[in-house]
Amino acid sequence: GMILVACVVTASCTSLNEPNEASASRAVPSCSEKGPQGSARTGTSGLGDEVPGVRTSALLVKLPQLSMEEFDQHWRHPHGTLTKRLPYFKRYVQNHALENPPATAGIARIPYDGIPTVWATTADDFAAAAKDPRYAELDADVDKMYVRSKVVWLQGREYVTCQSQTS
């Protein structure tokens, strides 16, 4: 079955509102544009255009003693502030789960409280970040906000098939 992720997106890097080189150099089809037979467009290759770099997303479960509000506030600061100090990341986004999202028939809500996503130029940038002396403080902060043993993550490439032309 399908799983629904309902969240509030919070951008933490100071440069996130600036267009990046990849998005500025190519036009991504609008999600509302229709192709020849009325089907939605899906990029020049039909599968979407690869975005340069590597993206890592994780699924987090907050500590049981924290309310969602406490978890959200701690994640934004100090945790988000500690994360954006690391120069290895091109972008960092926090997706905070909505406490009571509207029900969607046939789709279950995932049992996670947040999904951080970090973009870097290469997979080696993640390893370099973990060796940076500033990372130790960030890593220690994890145990103040989420259950480390329940984290699952995925590192991969991103493909953009369409993008809304309105914000």
To the nearest 10°, the Cα dihedral for 83, 86, 88, 90?
Answer: 50
- Average pLDDT, 10 consecutive residues per value, the chain (167 residues): 44 40 53 52 60 95 97 97 96 93 85 96 96 97 98 94 75
pLDDT recorded at residue 26: 53
Rounded Cα distance between 163 and 93, Å, is: 17
Angle at alpha carbon of residue 134, lines to 19 and 87, rounded to 5°? 20
At 142, the amino acid letter reads: V
3-class DSSP state of 157: strand
pLDDT recorded at residue 67: 96
At 105, the amino acid letter reads: A
Of the candidates 99, 96, 100, the one whose C-alpha atom is nearest the C-alpha of residue 79 is 96
Rounded Cα distance between 83 and 42, Å, is: 33
Whether the Cβ atoms of residue 92 and residue 13 lie closer than 8 Å to each other: yes
pLDDT recorded at residue 51: 87
As a whole number of Å, the end-to-end CA separation of the chain is 30
Say which residues have a Cβ less than 8 Å from residue 139's Cβ, sequence separation at least 6: 130
